[in-house]
């Protein structure tokens, strides 16, 4: 068997394991976990044991080295059962794990990455600040060098898992305020570091993950905790975010897929005017339309990840995934909720929770406007402007 065939076989068995876990463990408790408001660390360790965390990360740190498309497919399969776990596995473990593996000093990677892949540790990303997130390069948090250490002061807000994570990749300015992206460096800050405090927000959705603020009151980290070169952190680390945009796309497709499947089942059982709901084109056509839109976006996400795995440019495609997927998933899931009539409007219905969960990623990791800016910039750049 060629190594490529072996990889396909491994991915097949992982997808099967992820699908089973999604159907048997995630989906039945999706609503209950919304109220628990925490990632379940036992479940995360189980995912680690099944090999579902960091399938695209290097084998030397516990990953399987399977490529980003494989990572995206696992995220999609898990999001079918619970959008939050799909997002955690793909947009946190894979994305932040890759940032560490590619840019952090080896000792730091060794200290944190294997635990992330085993499902024992949680890592968050601190970029957004109270003054703004879209213009991320204008951040104000400062890191001042003091001998062989950096002292970080400032505030990060809207940070996923702020109150749960064991450590954070944090962006801070090491250059002048005018230096924009060129003066930003990235650091790893363990959650227990003196001077770091955190809060939790009361959000619309994604309660399992949650968001909050991080306050840095002269937080000291050794220079070995710098990720990437000084002043280059923004550029180096942001290179991982094209993958995340396609990953978010697949996570949204997974959630929409679950609502569509449930709704086809429902309309094939319930009757009105003497026939199954499915026989009314007014009921089945909006779902058929949703099928087509979700499948088109799913294929765009796969294509984007294939381009990435082939080392080809994919920034435009990644922004398209992020522009279309959360919004379309929201619209399709909303249609599924409506197709359930009054039952859909209950908090016992998973559709309302999926709508709330996917809506967060219409904002998180860059809004639709920012994605359109990226697409327009890449298109005009290609014309030499």
Binding mask 61-100 for ligand FAD (x = CB under 6 A): ----------------------------------------
**Distance between CA atoms of residues 208 and 198, nearest Å:** 17
How far apart are CB 252 and ligand FAD at their closest, in Å?
A: 12
Position 211 contacts ligand FAD (CB under 6 A): yes
Binding mask 167-206 for ligand FAD (x = CB under 6 A): ---------------------------------------x
How far apart are CB 169 and ligand FAD at their closest, in Å?
A: 9
**Among the candidate windows 9-17, 145-153, 158-166, 337-345, which touches ligand FAD by CB under 6 A?**
158-166
Position 212 contacts ligand FAD (CB under 6 A): no
Position 159 contacts ligand FAD (CB under 6 A): yes
Position 127 contacts ligand FAD (CB under 6 A): yes
**Binds ligand FAD (CB under 6 A): choice among 365, 371, 374, 375:** 365
**Binds ligand FAD (CB under 6 A): choice among 13, 59, 60, 132:** 132
Position 31 contacts ligand FAD (CB under 6 A): no
Position 126 contacts ligand FAD (CB under 6 A): yes
Q: Which residues bind ligand FAD (CB under 6 A)?
A: 124-128, 132-134, 158-160, 206, 211, 360, 363-367, 369-370
């Amino acid at each position: 068997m060629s190594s490529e065939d072996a990889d396909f076989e491994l991915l097949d068995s992982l997808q099967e394991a992820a699908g089973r876990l999604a159907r048997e463990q995630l989906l039945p408790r999706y609503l209950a976990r919304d109220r628990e408001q925490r990632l379940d660390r036992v479940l995360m360790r189980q995912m680690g044991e099944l090999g579902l965390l960091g399938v695209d990360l290097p084998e030397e740190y516990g990953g399987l080295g399977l490529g980003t498309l494989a990572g995206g497919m696992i995220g999609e399969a898990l999001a079918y059962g619970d959008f939050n776990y799909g997002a955690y596995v793909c947009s946190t473990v894979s994305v932040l794990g890759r940032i560490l593996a590619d840019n952090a000093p080896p000792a730091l990677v060794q200290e944190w990455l294997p635990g992330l892949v085993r499902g024992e540790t949680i890592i968050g990303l601190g970029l957004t600040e109270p003054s703004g997130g879209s213009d991320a390069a204008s951040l104000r948090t400062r890191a001042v060098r003091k001998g062989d250490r950096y002292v970080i002061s400032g505030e990060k807000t809207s940070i996923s898992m702020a109150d749960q994570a064991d450590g954070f990749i944090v962006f801070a300015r090491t250059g002048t305020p005018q230096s924009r992206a060129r003066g930003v460096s990235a650091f790893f800050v363990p959650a227990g570091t003196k001077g770091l405090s955190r809060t939790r927000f009361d959000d619309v959705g994604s309660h399992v993950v949650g968001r909050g603020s991080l306050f840095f009151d002269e937080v000291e980290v050794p220079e070995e905790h710098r990720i990437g070169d000084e002043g280059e952190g923004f550029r180096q680390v942001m290179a991982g975010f094209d993958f995340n945009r396609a990953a978010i796309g697949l996570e949204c497709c997974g959630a929409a897929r679950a609502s569509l499947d449930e709704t086809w089942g429902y309309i094939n059982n319930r009757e009105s005017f003497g026939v199954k709901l499915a026989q009314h084109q007014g009921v089945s056509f909006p779902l058929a339309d949703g099928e087509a839109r979700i499948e088109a976006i799913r294929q765009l996400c796969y294509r984007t990840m294939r381009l990435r795995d082939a080392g080809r440019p994919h920034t435009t495609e990644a922004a398209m995934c992020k522009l279309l997927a959360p919004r379309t998933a929201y619209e399709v899931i909303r249609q599924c909720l409506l197709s359930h009539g009054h039952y859909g409007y209950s908090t016992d219905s998973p559709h309302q929770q999926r709508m709330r969960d996917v809506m967060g990623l219409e904002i998180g990791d860059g809004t639709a406007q920012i994605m359109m800016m990226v697409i327009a910039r890449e298109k005009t750049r290609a014309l030499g402007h």
